[in-house]
Structure 1
Amino acid sequence: MAQTQVLDPGGRAIPYVDEGRGPAVVLIPGRGLNSAYLATLAEMLTEADHRVVRIGSRRPAPDAPLTMHDLARDVVDVLDHLGIDDAWIGGHAFGGAVARTVALDHADRVDGVLLLGVQTATTGVAELPASLEGARDAQADALQDAALAATVLQEWAGLAPHVPVLVIQSSDDAVTPPANGEALRDSAPDRVSVVAVDGGGHFFAGTHPGAAAWAIEDYLDWD
């Protein structure tokens, strides 16, 4: 299994895991989580001939307020470090908000956006199931909450022109409910596609990785 590495420009200490070969897919975990719960999903995508880079949150720094644009820059800096020119940028809930910011700020680096549940301004933080307890990252939570609060909504919640978006969402997700994805599709039906996963709740990407991987593989193969 690939090991977590750390990119540390300017003391940011950005954790990432790089595995596989082929077209690149970035996976960014949900708020207050490390990327461990996305490992099985990543492994399935690498078996389908994708290079998967899981990018976690930088460490908090004293007196250094951040915005979503800073977190998007972290993603691009990891891609630069790995020599990846462009990728599908994806994330779970809050991670998807970061992915959307990357697309808005750095559209030339983004082949498409992958949203595992759609974050809104009011999205909360769900209780982790027992099987994923090790994924909680207490240091990241306050940093990410502050980044959201410091960023104008449309600077991360908008859609980049001409960038395709694939939404995968659980049928019984109470935190990022299916209505969120449907509303996003209705706002831009020319470039937003929605795939439903039956069950799994908010953490379906970790508890139902097969269904999530199949949806991603099917879309990217078709696209």
Structure 2
Amino acid sequence: MTQERQTFEPDGRAVAYIDEGSGPAVVLLPAAGLDFAYLGTLASILVEEDFRVVRIGSRSAGTATMHDLAHDVVDVLTELGIGDAWIGGHAFGGAVARTVALDHHDRVNGILLLGVEAGTTVDRSAALTAVFGEDYAPDAALEERQVAALLSTPTPEWATIAPDTPTLVIQGSADEITPADNGFALQASAPALVSVKSVEGAGHLFVLTHPGETSWFIEDYLDWD
């Protein structure tokens, strides 16, 4: 396994990933329009706690549904010889994670939702600029393809919690992009499966600004499970 960026490209899909560490497998999927590099600190902390962390991006071109993006995740895991994993995602990445659990239930041990995507179109630019600075810009073409995948897939086919799938929601209490109410609403829809933890005072990019607290919630939950 390598800490270098790799590309899985059957059929020209070109899905980037980084595979690091050893132990129980955890997948991290980035938010819409973002490269998974910003998840690096969180991934490093989890690796230090003896998890194998695979960060996976979206295919670099072409149209896709949420089912296609979920299939890409499973194909990368198969390529790496990983039979099952905890699938985690930030915002849009969490929507992909839920789709993986619904479409490929036997490959998923549980879901980690870092902010709960509701499927609505919102302006993320202010939240991103506040952390990355004025020179930062998300990949507009990538985000457009990802939003199109979300909107072209019926909501129950990605937003539902898969049967018997333990789900941890971690969310920033001050997140205006994927607000805390989204997580509590998801918990209310499946109270026996969904647990919610809040990073107090944190905004949308809490995975970057509060990686230690985010990691602790994940470690504690997986140890309990």
Mapped partners of 1:34, 1:66: distance in 2: 18
User: Residue deviations 1:12-36, cap 9 Å, x none?
Assistant: 0000010000000000000011101
Distance 1:17 1:172, change over 3 A: same
Counterpart of 2:8 in structure 1 is 7
Distance 1:46 1:103, change over 3 A: same
Distance 1:12 1:125, change over 3 A: farther
Of 177, 190, 193, 2:192 maps to 190
Mapped partners of 1:81, 1:98: distance in 2: 19
Mapped partners of 2:104, 2:96: distance in 1: 12
Q: Any conservation in 1 of the 2:119–2:151 contact (CA below 8 Å)?
A: no
Q: Any conservation in 2 of the 1:27–1:53 contact (CA below 8 Å)?
A: yes
Q: CA deviation at 1:130?
A: 5.3
Counterpart of 1:147 in structure 2 is 149
Equivalenced residue count is 220
| Mapping for residues 75-90 of structure 1, pairs under 5 Å | 75-90=73-88
Asked whether 1:54 is paired with 2:52, we answer no
Distance 1:123 1:216, change over 3 A: farther
Counterpart of 1:68 in structure 2 is 66
Mapped partners of 2:149, 2:175: distance in 1: 24
Secondary structure in 1 matching 2:204:
helix
Secondary structure in 2 matching 1:129:
helix
Mapped partners of 2:147, 2:224: distance in 1: 36
Matched residues, percent identical?
A: 61
Q: CA deviation at 1:139?
A: 3.3
Mapped partners of 1:153, 1:132: distance in 2: 31
Counterpart of 1:99 in structure 2 is 97
Counterpart of 2:214 in structure 1 is 212
Q: CA deviation at 1:207?
A: 1.2
Q: CA deviation at 1:96?
A: 0.2
User: Residue deviations 1:122-160, cap 9 Å, x none?
Assistant: 152412135436683333111101111210011000110
Q: CA deviation at 1:188?
A: 0.8
Mapped partners of 1:122, 1:160: distance in 2: 21
Give the AA of the match of 1:106. Answer: H
Counterpart of 1:18 in structure 2 is 19
Mapped partners of 1:123, 1:87: distance in 2: 29
Mapped partners of 1:150, 1:157: distance in 2: 13
5+ residue gaps, structure 2, are none
Counterpart of 1:30 in structure 2 is 31
Q: Any conservation in 2 of the 1:114–1:166 contact (CA below 8 Å)?
A: yes
Secondary structure in 1 matching 2:89:
strand
Give the AA of the match of 2:76. Answer: V
Counterpart of 2:108 in structure 1 is 110
Mapped partners of 2:32, 2:131: distance in 1: 17
5+ residue gaps, structure 1, are none
User: Residue deviations 1:63-86, cap 9 Å, x none?
Assistant: xx3100000000000000000000
Which deviates the most, 199-208 or 96-105?
A: 199-208
Mapped partners of 1:135, 1:123: distance in 2: 17
Distance 1:218 1:135, change over 3 A: farther
Mapped partners of 1:140, 1:44: distance in 2: 27
Distance 1:113 1:216, change over 3 A: same
Q: Any conservation in 2 of the 1:118–1:167 contact (CA below 8 Å)?
A: yes
TM-score (norm 2): 0.94
